[in-house]
Structure 1
Amino acid sequence: MRMLMSSLVLVVLATIAGLGWSISEFAALQNQDTATANVNSRIAALKLVGSTLAISFDSETGLSDSFIRNWNKHNTEQLSLVSSAEFGLPRSLQLQFDTGAPLLLESNEGISLHYRLPNTGKILNISTNLLTPPEVMFTLNELYTIIFYVGVVMILLLWISPLIRQLVNLSKVTEAFGMGELGQRIKVSKTSYISSIEIQFNRMADCIQELLDDNKLLSSAVSHDLKTPIARLRFGIEALEETQNEQLRVKYFQRINRDLDTMEDLVVTLLSYAHLEQANIQPDLQPIELNSWLRDIVKHCVHPERQIDFIGFTKPVVIYTDPKYLSMQVNNLLSNAVRFSRSRIFLMVIVDEAGLWVHVEDDGKGIDDEEAMQVIKPFVRGQHSRGNAGHGMGLAIVNRIGQWMGSPLCIGHSTILGGARVSLHFKSFTEKSD
């Protein structure tokens, strides 16, 4: 992570600085080349004129003075004729000049051209105010360029700094989570550049923690619930080995079969719960008219000692869900109601401002408020269900399906029957006209 952030900052800074410097140097080079080319072209023209004038003045001396006066009146480049004795040069330049080649000298006043006239013993001088463009080390344009790119760098750093902080925070949280601190979560900001990654990390962390919690509950609960039937099996087998009475052997065989049925039921329940993972659920969503669908469920749920009444909504209502998983939810709720009720059970469909509700109410002892969030966990049973059959998995299965299917479980009190009211909530539905 540190290497990523360092490389990100270095690449941005190097790109801006390198590109800015390259553009500035190219522009300066273009300007300098233009000025130099202008000076060189004028010097070349003057050399051509000077060569022609030197030949003319060296052969015809009478016209030189008038031509020079007239030239100097109309041109900035000034002509003059001086004797060779007045034109002093260093020895190295004098040797070059004696060969007949023109001499170009440059001073603070400008560039001058000098031509030797061998027949007359004079020197033709062409003085100009032209100067070779100096190599400026630092200009005002370069200062403005530096200020501009420093401003760009500062703006980019202001943009990158929140990203760096978010990446550092993500790195710290993932490291702590990997070290076993499963409660670590990232606080997601609306302005975060990586909010989608942070949200996905939090979801992943929730799934991992939930999976580990389920494994702990399952391992502890399974070991506890299996001890009793295993012990009974051991006692039953020992009793079978010791008795010769046929009636007692039949009785012991029946007890062993019941214990095996209990163990098999526990294993099936565990497998059903373990299958209810988000990755395993592939819902087949279908439109279901809820009133008629629940009425069919009640017809097949017949109990000789319990009266199950269905109270549908006044209008047909359609929901989009998977009938298989919805059936698992409703059947588990009805099974719990049959187990804990005294005589009556209501299955109702209610529509209000919050959405559509499927209520299962009974006239049993109910579920205490402090136990409502505990009984939805695997193998956790309320204090009023200690003496009843079951493994404490019914509501856990309903809650697990509701998390993935969008039909969350709600637990409350029945105002009609006085017992528990366990509900499924559906936010989206469609009412049909009769």
Structure 2
Amino acid sequence: MTDTQNPSALSAKNTSQADQSIDFSMVIASAVHDMKNSLGMLLNSLDELRQEHGEQLSGTRGFNTLQYEAERVHNDLVQLLGIYRLGEQTLSAHIEEHFVPDFLQENLARHTPLLDGLGIQCSVAADDLLGFFDEDLLTGVLNNTINNAIRYTRSRIHLTARQQDDYLVIGVEDDGRGYPESMQHSGPVSFGSLDFNSGSTSLGLFFASTVAQLHNQGGRKGEIRLRNGGQFGGGVFEIWLP
């Protein structure tokens, strides 16, 4: 006797299997987006608490650590979303004109409460330049770089901007021990060079390099450069935009 199944039952089974076929990367991206927004609200709340209870909280190690780590995770999530969009081929640069000194001051202002709480001095030396770049993407790069400098500096961070060889060069310097020799380089950072088995994947550098390369003009692409020296002799991060 031949065993047959009801065609309608087979159809229902196949439909059920199709419904369970989930694009996991999209689920992760959606979750990351929600977490990023939640952390953004948390950071705003921390800023409000610092303003309301500045004397009690500003010098508190635990509060400063909380704000620093929340900012760091928020930056990581921003980068992950950018890399997801890169993989989906939906990440692009929307180039607009910006007055560079104002752009740097606005980005620094976001970190000023934490810098003050940690006793870190920060200065800006920017030529009066008009730059053409994607404000959101470059903000993501600067936020991560400043946050990284906060981690490794001793007491000072310096933001710079100049024009060199027909490039807009924006830099973040600190007075820490500087980059190890293995990290000092110029040019693009490939995804294949990331080491997910180590404590530091250099995901931020890959994101910054990607953002730089999205800025191109006349066949020239942007790039990042890492070296030691600068005004304080510590680490110097630069993003070069054509």
TM-score by length of 2: 0.56
| Greater per-residue strand proportion | 2
Residues 337-390 of structure 1 deviation map (CA, whole Å, 9 limit, x = unaligned): 111111100001122345331111011111133333599566549x9xx6xxx7
- Counterpart selection for 1:325 from 133, 137, 141: 137
**SS of equivalent residue, structure 1 residue 420:** strand
Q: Is the Cα–Cα contact under 8 Å of residues 380 and 393 in structure 1 kept in the other structure?
A: no
- Residue in structure 2 matched with residue 336 of structure 1 by the alignment: 148
Does the CA-based 8 Å contact 2:161-2:169 persist in structure 1?
Answer: yes
TM-aligned CA distance change 1:298 to 1:321, over 3 Å: same
Matched, 1:309 2:123: yes
**Which residue of 1 is the match for residue 183 of structure 2?**
371
Question: For residues 74 and 161 of structure 2, what CA distance do their matches in structure 1 show?
Answer: 35
1:346 equivalent to 2:158? Answer: yes
Size of the aligned set, in residue pairs, is 158
Give the alignment's Cα RMSD to 1 decimal: 3.2
> Is the Cα contact below 8 Å between 1:411 and 1:420 reproduced in 2?
yes
Structure 1 residues 263 and 301, CA, compared in 2 at 3 Å: closer, same or farther?
closer
Contact 1:410 1:424 in 2 (8 A): yes
- Write the distance in 1 (CA, Å) between the matches of 2:94 and 2:130: 15
Residue 357 (str. 1) matches residue 169 (str. 2): yes
For structure 1, the 5+ residue unaligned runs are: 1-261, 428-434
Contact 1:325 1:401 (C-alpha < 8 Å) held by counterparts: yes
Per-residue deviation, 1:283: 2.5
SS of 2:145's equivalent in the other structure is: helix
Distance in 2 (CA, whole Å) between partners of 1:338 and 1:283 is 27
SS at 2:89's partner residue?
Answer: coil
Counterpart Cα distance in 1 of 2:73 and 2:109: 30
Q: 1:318 is matched by which residue type in structure 2?
A: L
Distance in structure 2 (CA, Å) of the matches to 1:351 and 1:264: 31
1:404 equivalent in alignment to 2:219: no
Larger Rg computed on CA atoms = 1
Q: Which amino acid aligns with 1:371?
A: M
1:421 alignment counterpart: 236
Residues 84-163 of structure 1 aligned to structure 2 (within 5 Å): none
Residue aligning to 2:60: none
Between the aligned partners of 1:346 and 1:265, the Cα distance in structure 2 is 20
Higher relative contact order (CA 8 A, sep 6+): 2
Partner of 1:285: 95
SS at match of 2:104: helix
Percent identity (aligned): 19
- 8 Å Cα contact 1:377/1:393 also seen in 2: no
Are residues 296 and 342 of structure 1, via their aligned partners in 2, closer, same or farther at CA, if it must alter by over 3 Å?
same
Q: CA–CA distance in 1 between the matches of 2:165 and 2:171?
A: 16
Distance 2:170 2:229 in 1: 13
The TM-score, its normalising length taken from structure 1, stands at 0.32
Unaligned regions of 5+ residues in structure 2, if any?
1-71, 217-221
